[in-house]
Amino acid sequence: MPADVERHCEDAARHALFAVCISPLFVASAKMWLRGTNVRLVTVAGFPHGTEVSEVKAEAARRSVEDGADEVDMVMPLGLARAARWDAVERDVAVVRDAIPRATLKVILETGYFDHDAILRAAHAAVSGGADFVKTSTGYGPRGATLEDVTVLARAVGDKAGVKAAGGIRTAAFARLLIGAGASRIGTSNGVALVEEP
């Protein structure tokens, strides 16, 4: 509901959070509510399973950026990734990248579906397609962020991209562990609670 989105934006600004993630439907309104703050506006494309064709994801991302989003978190095509069609995954990312050349693009890998080697391949495909960040999870998959997954991703991307840990992050202590493992961003629906922890 719009009132919930406005409250999320107000909370993010009040607690000086880096960014707030908003449904594409409310990006334009959120941009207005965040005016005059330093909070970045993030939205999603292909959420939560990455099943749309690339051009649909790209158009959704383009429209969101046009509406005011600073960053887009896209879900890679999970079915293609689970079939190890890494060239197709890279192309999917590249189509979205081309649609939003100046916005930050994060690619959600949904690491819970993959073993170590597949996580590496997914990360390489995302970065080769133009991702600025690789992201662990949507929060709807088999598991959220883990220290092991973040460590693997950080090693896979090196200094070519950032790592966003997301999914199941409910305490500041766990967030700090993930940062220590290599996460450069934390995504959580518990941001206010984390910053208010003693």
pLDDT tens-place string over residues 163-195 = 999 999 999 999 999 999 999 999 999 898 888
> What pTM was estimated for this model as a whole?
0.96
Burial label for 196, CB within 10 Å (0-12, 13-18, 19+), is exposed
Tell me what the pLDDT averaged over the chain comes to: 96
Q: What domain range is 141 assigned to?
A: 2-196
pLDDT band (50, 70, 90) for residue 69: very high
Q: Determine the 3-state secondary structure of 104 from DSSP.
A: strand
The token pair at 156 is 């896979």
Note whether 98 and 54 are within 8 A (CB). Answer: no
Note whether 194 and 188 are within 8 A (CB). Answer: yes
Mean pLDDT, residues 135-150: 96
Note whether 18 and 40 are within 8 A (CB). Answer: yes
Q: What is the CATH number of the domain that holds 81?
A: 3.20.20.70
The total number of structural domains that make up the chain: 1
- Please give the single-letter amino acid code of residue 107: V
Q: What is the pLDDT of residue 195?
A: 87
Q: What is the pLDDT of residue 196?
A: 86
Q: Determine the 3-state secondary structure of 192 from DSSP.
A: helix
Give the catalytic positions in this structure. Answer: 73, 135, 164
pLDDT tens-place string over residues 103-120 = 999 999 999 999 999 999
Say what percent of the chain tops pLDDT 90: 94
